[in-house]
Structure 1
Amino acid sequence: MSARVDKTVRRRAKSKCILINEETENGSRQFKSKVAIGLRSILIFVTASLITAIFLECVPHAKVFPCWWSVRNHEQHATPTFALYLKGSREIHLENVVKVLNKLGYQRVGINDSWNLLWSHDYPFLKLPLQELGKPQVVNHFPGCGYLTNKVDLSTSQLPFQPRAFRLPADRDKFLEYAHDHPDALFVQKNNRHRQIKIKEIKEIDLQSNDSFVQEFIQRPFLVDNHKFDIGVYVVITSVNPLRVYIYTGDIRFRFCPIEYHPFDAENVGKYVVAGDFLNPWKIAALEKYHAVYGGNSRMSFEAYVRDQGRDPFKIWPQVEEIIRKTVLAKEKDIVNALHSFSTHNFFELMRFDLFIDEDLKVYLMEANMSPNLYGNQINHLFEQVLYSAFNLVGIRSISATAGIMYGENNTLLTIDQNLATGLNQCAEHNCDQSCEKDECDLCLMCLNELEKETLQNAYQEHLHRVSMKRIVPKPIVDSYPI
């Protein structure tokens, strides 16, 4: 269309220029034949002709420029781009990230090139200037996400669903008092690097160690075929102010200790620490049949096993949702404060919450991982599905599937004002079309400001493209299905 407009404008300009030339030639003939015309009249005529010619010559260029600009920008965004920030990590860890983005039509560029998505395995804000992002740019971490993923800070937050923990050396005296009052308790010492975890006697614990903490060991785990395990739930934060949090419901990551738990031996960490040599669910005999024969995923196979024990697995998942919800809410203010130095908030966070289940099916929070492992030959399908759901949720979608709509762009194909309208009877009852002063009018369409509309539009588009994600913050008003 812009090409047709360009040709039409140039034809008009050409015809007007010809007209000017003809008028100029006529003027010259009249000058020659009518020498009686005064010099003053000639100068006025020539000046007017020049001004007209200059004006007509400039008009088409003023109209053409915006068309050229929009075409150039469309060409720039015809192929969306992504860049990887790989400080301290191997590229193989991001193989599935690259694979899914390629399937969505994204092309990889350098970190210093123009990109739409920056995927960073590490915390990028200390090294990269990300305070002012363009509208179509997004980064896969939030400033301040460390308040959630720092193991020492999170474990010592004293949330009711966490094993009791004490920061060292600051809480040394409190720890010794607690240990004295609970002589049967066992403890492990941990740090942010999550290395060399082992149950220790009080005298073995380094009470002066910085950047570490002591955590009570839960001694009655729920076991599958006598194997202890943890579960990993993938979580996406799409907005902090206002807060929106989703969990992936397609499956759950199960990791089993390689050695049977009983008879228990504190010296054998393979019995109770989930490390790099963990077992996948299909390596556990009681779960293998549900995987191999009946085609269940990890979560479904686990639920089947729990039912085999005469227990109800659906007692677990509401606890999981509540733990994740309350944990993020507890750190919300800290993350909001960290965002104050950023003029744009084009960020999202994909993390994994690791949890533990005891023999009473009570769930405990262990930690949250900022850059969870998304690579593993045997479960790449899970990682790809998690990434696909997360990308769709935050607006990183196949261009062919979204009519060319890029991240950060609003389009009436996805959202119109009527999609945001709610409470029509209440709005009419309180005459909110005449005044928005009443609290009952706060959510009426005509009382929303532009920022509120944009926030609701983003939330609505997330709902449309959530794939296997479920929103847990804000908590849905109607919630009739499990995690």
Structure 2
Amino acid sequence: MYSPPGSTTKHHRSRGVSTRSLYIIVIALLMGILVTLWNVYQLRWLHEKHSTGMPEAVSSNVKDSDKPVVWVHAKRMETGYLDHVLAVFNRIGYVRGGQESDWDVLWAHDYPFTQLSMAIGNMKPHQKVNHFPGTGYVTNKVYLATSDIKYIPIAFQMPKQQAEFQKEVERSPDRLWVQKSSSHRGIKVKSTKELNLNAKDTFIQEYIQKPFLIDGRKFDLGLYVITTSVDPLRVYMVDDEMLVRFCPKDYYPTNFEDVDKYVVGDDYTPMWEMPSLKKWFVEGKYSFKESLYAYFRSVGKDSGWVEDQIYEAVKGVFMNKQPQLKTALEKYPHKNVFFEMMRFDFVLDEDLNVYLMEVNMSPNLSSTHFTPNKYLYEHVIFNTLSVVGVARSFPTSLKSVSNDAFIMAVSERDIQVKADECGSDLCKTCENQDCKLCNKCLIPAQRELLKAAYLEHKNRATTRRVYPEPMTQETAEAYDDSLDEELDENDQLMRVWFRAKCIEDASWCR
């Protein structure tokens, strides 16, 4: 049938208009649904915010360019072994930068004082580095093992201490030994006849023959220790956690061919697989530390005895090595820009006597192998950054923080102690030793030391002070200050100040 010209075009145009209208309607409906969902989400978020007590958002003039900058220096970072370090820095408001940036914190995985010596030598007062010069005096296996420090098994450096070692063997011929070096991790228990007394850069150390066992397994304890200053010495420990690692195989005291029976390696057995500890760590959700200590108490052992020895051992190491650390620090113009987090590894004998085996400068912080360790590592990292003032309430780089902001955090009034003595006739002059903490007797450098210690204490999170050692109010009041006379002036000042703060407020005692 013939159709008039244009009739087909009109028919298609009408259908096209109808299709477009339908399409517009559908789009409008979808947009309406999305807006509704967004409003529901906003209402729910507001409800949760108010129900959890979150404060109202406060407008901020802080720009990304004003945020503090962390420079992470490490090899093969793409493998993810520093992912938890990066995550914590991100959560506390830091952005990544490099050597060329105006950085606030340098986190170096390896010892940085050779490759990065120029950058560190030109540091500004507000910058921080996560290692101390001279840390090797603590973390080098040979230096540590052959130091005369309580809680470290007796050791002899080879080949220069052959004669001393032979005399020790004659006194106790039945003891077993391990031979180690700083260049490798492998160890093996050997008899005296199997040892190589001519091997350079090695040391021979007594083997702890009767270890404490749980479910037939030997284990070690990793305690995280934070140094904030070496002059004066201030050391803290993450007090509520530790790393507990078990050997992959049951211990057998006469079979030392299989190292998995007595050496804790990378493929250790984690706590959550140990039958006697599951009810605390897995079911009860207790920490590594509390799970282990609860087990000790359940078998009639004193967990406090272990705790006391660990703190004494850590304190002893730093008191022994402080002179070398201070010497290594001397050439740097700013003494308060360094901090360090190390892991101290201990083993226990059957009587719960503690033995320090080694100290790790840059301990493993990767949970790739054991995913549940993520929470331990991030807890340790955050506590470290908190006590040293890297994780702080100021949202900008320290270089742009005003003096009023610092005074808000700590003023000269916050560090004052001994009000009765300082306000009496006894302290009209500064000649009396009891008056050396009075404001008029403090020089500016001493005030800055006390302010730094004040901030660390306030920001310590779950860390506990190792040195100056904690006290009770009773022991602080009875302490004889003359016992500190062998210390240098800064260490004396710090110890006396912490004791005075403890006497006035028990929260300062530890």
Structure-1-length-normalised TM-score: 0.80
* Partner amino acid, structure 2, of 1:245: V
Match of 1:270 among 256, 260, 266: 260
The structure with more radius of gyration: 1
C-alpha separation between the residues in 1 aligned to 2:251 and 2:140? 28
Matched, 1:134 2:87: no
Q: Distance in 2 between matches of 1:451 and 1:470?
A: 25
Cα deviation 1:216-241 (Å, max 9, x = unaligned): 10011111111100101000000110
The secondary structure found in structure 2 opposite 1:105 is coil
CA positional deviation for 1:91: 5.3
Match of 1:216 in 2: 206
| Structure-2 change in CA distance of 1:262 and 1:200 (3 Å) | closer
The answer to whether the aligner puts 1:340 opposite 2:334 as a matched pair is: no
| Separation of aligned partners in 2, 1:250 and 1:197 | 31
Q: How many aligned residue pairs are there?
A: 407
1:236/1:351 contact within 8 Å kept: yes
Counterpart of 1:422 in structure 2 is 417
Q: What code does the residue aligned with 2:410 have?
A: T
- The alpha-carbon distance between structure 1 residues 407 and 347, as it changes in their structure 2 partners (threshold 3 A), is farther
Q: Give the whole-Å Cα distance in 2 for the aligned partners of 1:462 and 1:195.
A: 35
Equivalent residues of 2:158, 2:202 under 8 A apart: yes
Q: Is the 8 A contact 1:147 1:331 kept in 2?
A: yes
Classify 1:91/1:350 alpha carbon distance in 2 versus 1 (closer, same or farther; 3 Å): farther
User: Which amino acid letter does the alignment assign opposite residue 398 of structure 2?
Assistant: M
Match of 2:445 in 1: 451
Quick one: distance in 2 between partners of 1:366 and 1:211?
A: 17
Taking structure 1 as reference, are residues 245 and 77 closer, same or farther at Cα in structure 2, changes over 3 Å only? Answer: farther
Give secondary structure in 1 for the equivalent of 2:413. helix
Which residue is equivalent to 1:36? none
Q: Give the superposition deviation at 1:430.
A: 3.7
The answer for the alignment partner of 1:381 in structure 2 is: 375
Question: 2:282 maps to what in 1?
Answer: 292
Match of 1:441 in 2: 435
- Structure 1 CA distance for aligned equivalents of residues 169 and 426 of structure 2: 63
Mark the CA change 1:142 to 1:88 in structure 2 (over 3 Å): closer, same or farther: farther
CA drift at 1:290: 1.3
Q: In the alignment, does 2:388 pair up with 1:397?
A: no
343, 347, 351: which one pairs with 2:342?
A: 351
Rounded to whole Å, the distance in 1 between the matches of 2:248 and 2:86 is: 31
Say if 2:348 and 2:355, in contact at 8 Å, map to a contact too. yes
Change (3 A) 1:112 1:209: farther
Greater displacement, 336-345 / 79-88: 79-88
Alignment partners' CA distance in 2, 1:380 and 1:373: 11
**Cα separation, 1, equivalents of 2:216 and 2:107:** 39
Give, as a single letter, the amino acid of the residue that structure 2 aligns with 1:356. Answer: V
1:306 lines up with 2:301 in the alignment: no
For 1:117, the equivalent position in structure 2 comes to 105
Offset, 1:192: 0.9
How far did residue 76 of structure 1 move? 8.8
Provide structure 2 residue ranges, at least 5 long, that are not aligned to the other structure. Answer: 1-61, 474-505
Give me the CA root mean square deviation: 2.1
Deviations 1:18-53 (A, max 9, x none): xxxxxxxxxxxxxxxxxxxxxxxxxxxxxxxxxxxx
Counterparts of 2:165 and 2:391, CA distance in 1: 49
Question: How much has 1:178 moved relative to structure 2?
Answer: 1.4
Cα–Cα, structure 1 residues 79 and 405, in superposed 2: closer, same or farther, change >3 Å?
A: closer
Contact 1:325 1:472 in 2 (8 A): yes
Change (3 A) 1:450 1:221: same
Alpha-carbon deviation of 1:350? 0.5
SS of aligned partner of 1:420:
coil
- What is the DSSP-based 3-state SS (H/G/I as helix, E as strand, rest coil) of the residue aligned with 1:380? helix
The question of whether the paired residues in 1 share the 8 Å contact of 2:225 and 2:238 is answered with yes
How far apart, CA to CA, are the structure 2 residues paired with 1:123 and 1:309?
A: 42
Q: Per the alignment, in what secondary structure is the counterpart of residue 454 of structure 2? A: helix
Q: How much has 1:300 moved relative to structure 2?
A: 1.2
C-alpha contact (below 8 Å) 2:67/2:396 kept by paired residues: no
For residues 150-202 of structure 1, the C-alpha deviation after alignment (integer angstroms, 9 at most, x for no partner) is 00100010212111101011111211221222111001111113422101122
* CA deviation after TM superposition for structure 1 residue 408, in Å: 10
Q: Distance in 1 between matches of 2:399 and 2:205?
A: 42
Distance 2:261 2:462 in 1: 33
Amino acid at match of 1:446: K
Query: Structure 1: how far apart are the matches of 2:265 and 2:286?
Result: 25
2:313 corresponds to:
323
Per the alignment, residue 26 of structure 2 pairs with none
Question: Residue in 2 aligned with 1:71?
Answer: none
Alpha-carbon distance change, 89 to 314 in structure 1, aligned in 2, over 3 angstroms: same
Residues 88 and 122 in structure 1, CA contact (< 8 A), matched pair in contact too: no
CA distance in 2: counterparts of 1:215 and 1:309, whole angstroms = 30
Name the counterpart of 2:269. 279
Task: Using structure 2 for the length normalisation, give the TM-score.
Answer: 0.76
Q: Measure the CA separation in 2 of the matches of 1:448 and 1:403.
A: 31
Amino acid paired to 2:233: L
8 Å contact from structure 1 (residues 158, 165) kept in 2: no
Distance, in Å, in 1 between the alignment partners of 2:444 and 2:415 is: 12
Q: Does 1:406 align with 2:429?
A: no
Partners of 1:435 and 1:96 lie apart in 2 by 53
Q: Secondary structure at the match of 1:98?
A: helix
1:253 is the counterpart of 2:243: yes
Give the match's secondary structure for 2:220. Answer: strand
Q: In structure 1, what is the Cα distance between the partners aligned to 2:466 and 2:227?
A: 10
Equivalent pair of 2:68/2:95 in contact (CA under 8 Å): yes
Alpha-carbon separation, structure 2, partners of 1:256 and 1:309:
18
Q: Distance in 2 between matches of 1:339 and 1:298?
A: 35
8 Å contact kept, 1:430–1:440:
no
Q: CA deviation at 1:250?
A: 2.1
Paired position in structure 1 for 2:32: none
- The letter of the residue matching 2:281 is H
Q: Which residue of 1 aligns with 2:134?
A: 144
Pick which of 250-259 and 205-214 moved more: 205-214
Given the superposition, is the C-alpha separation of residues 477 and 263 from structure 1 closer, same or farther in structure 2, using an over 3 Å criterion?
closer
**3-state secondary structure, aligned to 2:472:** coil
Q: Does 1:103 align with 2:91?
A: yes
What do residues 127-166 of structure 1 show as CA deviations (whole Å, max 9, x unaligned)?
1111231122110000001100000100010212111101
SS at match of 2:317: helix
Cα-to-partner distance string for 1:431-459 (whole Å, 9 max, x where unaligned): 53x42222121001221111111111111
Q: Is the CA contact 2:239–2:463 (under 8 Å) kept in the aligned structure 1?
A: yes
Preserved CA contact (<8 Å) 2:418 2:438: yes
2-structure distance, mates of 1:143, 1:90: 27
- Aligned position for 2:67: 79
Give the ranges of 4+ consecutive aligned residues of structure 1 lying more than 4 Å apart after TM superposition. 74-77, 87-91, 407-410, 479-483
Structure 1 stretch displaced more, 311-320 or 473-482: 473-482
Q: Is the 8 A contact 2:142 2:181 kept in 1?
A: yes
